[in-house]
Homo-oligomer: A and B are copies of this chain.
Amino acid sequence: MTERLIVIGGDAAGMSAASQARRRRGPQELEIIAFERGDYTSYSACGIPYFVADTVEDLESLIVRQPEVFRTKQQIDVRMRTEVTEIDLDKRAVKARSIDGGKETWEPFDQLMIATGGIPIRPPLGGIDAAGILGIQTLNDGVLVRQVIEDEDPKHAVVVGGGYIGLEMADALTARGIKVVLVETGEQPMSTLDPDMGEFVTKAMRAMDIEVLTNETVTAFELSDAGHVTGAVTDRRRLPADIVVLGIGTRPNVDLARAAGIEIGPSGGIVVDQQMQTSTEGVWAGGDCAEKFHLVSRAPVAIALGTHANKEGRVAGINIGGGYATFPGVVGTAVSKVCDIEVARTGLKETEADAAGFDHLTVTVDSTTRAGYFPGASPIRTKLIVEARSGRLLGAQIVGKEDAAKRIDALAVALWNEMTVDHMLNMDLSYAPPFAPVWDPVLIAARKAWEKVEATLQDES
């Protein structure tokens, strides 16, 4: 008998799951229907700021695979512009309706994959729903921003919040010739970094003529008579704004799952086990809507990142298809290019290490990206957060003009293996003058951290 898999959401997690399930079970065994409310499936959401900046010119290039390809090559029945409005776990069916038509039908399933993604956090401020105030999550959002830029020719933009998407959008809007003011409630933007590292981001942005206001909060918006945003009001001033981008971040989109009685975790994401199965058998979740296990803090976290979505979707799909795979968790690696600097982090930052109950110490090392004498060598700052007595690596942050991003990977693998800094300081990392000083900054930092651990232990003995 043919089983049926329904996928809610055509994002990377949903479509990866569908593809992997299909690889293992043919159309005679498994019927697959995927519902996507937007106009695009299986695209790179992380590419949106670059599409807005016109660094990436072609919208199509962001789309990994078109719906038609899923239909013809994999017999996956992708139904675009179709919204799922309810999940009934007893009937094992979902209610779906076309956004254009409004026809509503119940579609039964044997297996269900929930890939509803995230939704931009919209602070409950006066005027927040006005025209010209845009969150960035889906490719439709990206298309809209670009259309607004081209149709309305905005002169002033306010970006609310200095998360990754906020910073990347500030950069993108600046590239389009718009004067950008970024308003960040905290001490520094990029709050996934410790403030001493975030400071570099602020400097780089200011050098690109982006105004960065810190310790300042947007409290309301001003609108025109026609209901279009004209300004943002903060606790300190009024800022003109023809366009406002919300860059605070996203939260898991779990309304459907919660309403159905599927367990939601403390992070706000759908609870899944290592196979990506939810609290209900045969119901799976992955991507930004699903909770992740943090391998360092051992706590559930919500992290919206395409690379996790792809991996989780793959794992869910293999299991749905009758195979076996697990997703062990994350260590919180994230990188971004902001203006001309690379920002990278992995593991826990100081406040996160505190919250997880780790007694920790930190070291910060200023070095160069290449051998100091090699043309193009530029400053790079590496910070490690280390458990004070054991020397176990807890987290790392790197900021610099090049190779910060790929350099963090060595530290991510070290975290993955629960390494201590004394085990790390002699690691055989690559060295040649165009790529690194003879002591790579990562090794210098590990060495200094170990010296500090030893000193701590001696002081106590």
**Which A residues are closer than 8 A to B by beta carbons?**
12, 44, 46-47, 50, 55-56, 58, 61-62, 295, 305-308, 310-311, 315, 327-328, 330-337, 342, 344, 346, 371-375, 403, 405-410, 412-417, 419, 426-436, 438-440, 442
Q: How far is the CB of A301 from chain B (nearest CB, A)?
A: 12
26 A–B contacts from the bound complex (CB under 8 Å): A12-B438, A44-B371, A44-B438, A46-B371, A46-B431, A46-B433, A47-B374, A55-B375, A61-B372, A307-B438, A308-B428, A311-B426, A328-B426, A333-B428, A333-B429, A335-B432, A337-B432, A337-B435, A344-B430, A405-B436, A406-B435, A409-B442, A412-B429, A413-B414, A416-B428, A417-B419
Q: How far is the CB of A164 from chain B (nearest CB, A)?
A: 8
How many chain copies does the complex carry? 2
Residues of B within 8 A of A346 (CB): 428, 430
Q: CA A182 – CA B84 in complex, angstroms?
A: 65
Identity of the chain B residue whose Cβ is nearest the Cβ of A47 in the assembled complex: B433
Identity of the chain B residue whose Cβ is nearest the Cβ of A442 in the assembled complex: B409
Contact B406 A430 (CB under 8 A): yes
Contact B439 A412 (CB under 8 A): no
Q: How far is the CB of A376 from chain B (nearest CB, A)?
A: 10
Q: Which of A12, A295, A328, A373 gathers the greatest number of chain B CB atoms within 10 Å?
A: A373
Residues of B within 8 A of A430 (CB): 333-335, 344, 346, 405-406, 408-409, 412
Contact A427 B412 (CB under 8 A): yes
Residues of B within 8 A of A410 (CB): 406, 409-410, 412-413
Q: CA A334 – CA B431 in complex, angstroms?
A: 7
Q: How far is the CB of A169 from chain B (nearest CB, A)?
A: 14
Q: CA A373 – CA B374 in complex, angstroms?
A: 31
Contact A431 B337 (CB under 8 A): no
Q: Which of A12, A62, A405, A433 gathers the greatest number of chain B CB atoms within 10 Å?
A: A433
Contacts A307-B438, A412-B430; A373 near B332 (Cβ below 8 A): no
Residues of B within 8 A of A308 (CB): 428
Select which of B47, B333, B431 is within 8 A of A306 by beta carbon.
B431
Contact A431 B307 (CB under 8 A): yes
Select which of B61, B310, B332, B419 is within 8 A of A439 by beta carbon.
B310
Q: CA A433 – CA B305 in complex, angstroms?
A: 12
Residues of B within 8 A of A375 (CB): 55-56
Identity of the chain B residue whose Cβ is nearest the Cβ of A311 in the assembled complex: B426
